[in-house]
Amino acid sequence: KLKEIKEGLYRYYDLVKESGVVEFERSISTFQNWQKQIMNSFAFDLHNGYVEGINNQTKVIKRNAFGFKRFDRFRLKVLLHHQYKNLKVRIN
């Protein structure tokens, strides 16, 4: 599977070089710098979507909690939200 992915990536490099589009040619250097990570993202079914979701929810709480005078209470609100989010409990 990894071999197929690598071959596909090399075919993409060749197509971009043949196209002559300067912007795409620049993308090849970026892809080559990150080639190992790109190939791993296709080969393995792993992603950071869950962590990104937690970060987004924390930022929403932060926006809504503007005006908290005590950081420790804000911190507890964030921690409690993430601890109990699957239990459908609302913490005010």
pLDDT tens-digit readout, 1-30: 778 888 888 898 899 888 888 888 888 888
Residue 90 counted as domain residue: no
**For residue 81, what pLDDT band results from cuts at 50, 70 and 90?**
confident
Full DSSP string of 1-69? -HHHHHHHHHHHHHHHHHH--HHHHHHHHHHHHTHHHHHHHHHS----HHHHHHHHHHHHHHHHTTT-S
**What integer pLDDT is reported at residue 46 of this predicted model?**
76
Q: Same structural domain for residues 63 and 28?
A: no
The pTM score is: 0.48
Residues 18 and 59 in one domain: no
* Residue 62 sits in the same domain as residue 37: no
For residue 77, tell me if it sits in a domain: yes
Range of the domain at 18: 1-46
Is the pLDDT at 36 greater than 90? The verdict is no
| Tally of domains in the chain | 2
- Asked if residues 29 and 37 have their Cβ atoms less than 8 Å apart, the reply is no
Higher-confidence position of 3 and 88: 3
92 lies in some domain:
no
Residues 42 and 55 in one domain: no
